[in-house]
Amino acid sequence: MIDTQIGKRTIIATLTILSLAFLPAFAYMYTTQKQIPTGIIIKTPTLQIGVYWDAQCTNSVTLIDFGEIPQPNQNVTMQKLLYIKNEGDVPLPIYWNSTLNSVTDEITEEWLYGGYEPWNGTWVLGSGVSNGFDYYIHIPKYVSIGTYNWTLTIWGVY
């Protein structure tokens, strides 16, 4: 009777150990799985810069004509107020460049914000935001007679 008791306990202990070892594996194999559809849309930001004559950004600038120099024997500074608008969907630092240096080394140019602060690359326009900027050309007295044409480029960098 003692041997039967020990045999039953051994069998129960062995079954218990085996069930503890294999039940989690069986439970895992028989659990249900849930599939979740997942996705992402990656877009390239829209980078668009508009240049306008008016604060409402309705009159596009396509040509800047400074006209004739009023006093060719005096230093002259001429200015145009232009509104630059970020028409894209991300904030952009705004840059500018021109071909004026390849046309003449006598006439110089600069952009200022509010008449004081140069902004090439340091001014960030938010999405949908516009600001007025002053574009100046400086003409020295006794500049060479002629007609000067150059290209002005304004862009944003993401």
Question: How would you label 59-86 residue by residue, b for 16+ Cβ within 10 Å and e otherwise?
Answer: eebeeeeeeebeeeeeebeeeeebbbbb
The per-residue pLDDT for 6 is: 59
H/E stretch holding 154: strand 152-156
Which pair of structure tokens corresponds to residue 153?
């480029």
Q: Please indicate, yes or no, whether the overall pTM of this predicted structure exceeds 0.85.
A: no
Radius of gyration of the chain (CA): 38
Set out the domains of the chain in order of their start, with CATH numbers: 49-156 (2.60.40)
The per-residue pLDDT for 48 is: 92
How many CB atoms lie under 10 A from the CB of residue 14?
10
- Name the stretches of the chain with pLDDT < 70: 1-31, 39, 42-44, 70-71, 115
The per-residue pLDDT for 146 is: 87
The per-residue pLDDT for 15 is: 63
Strand order in the sheet with 92-98: 124-125, 92-98, 152-156
The per-residue pLDDT for 83 is: 95
The per-residue pLDDT for 24 is: 61
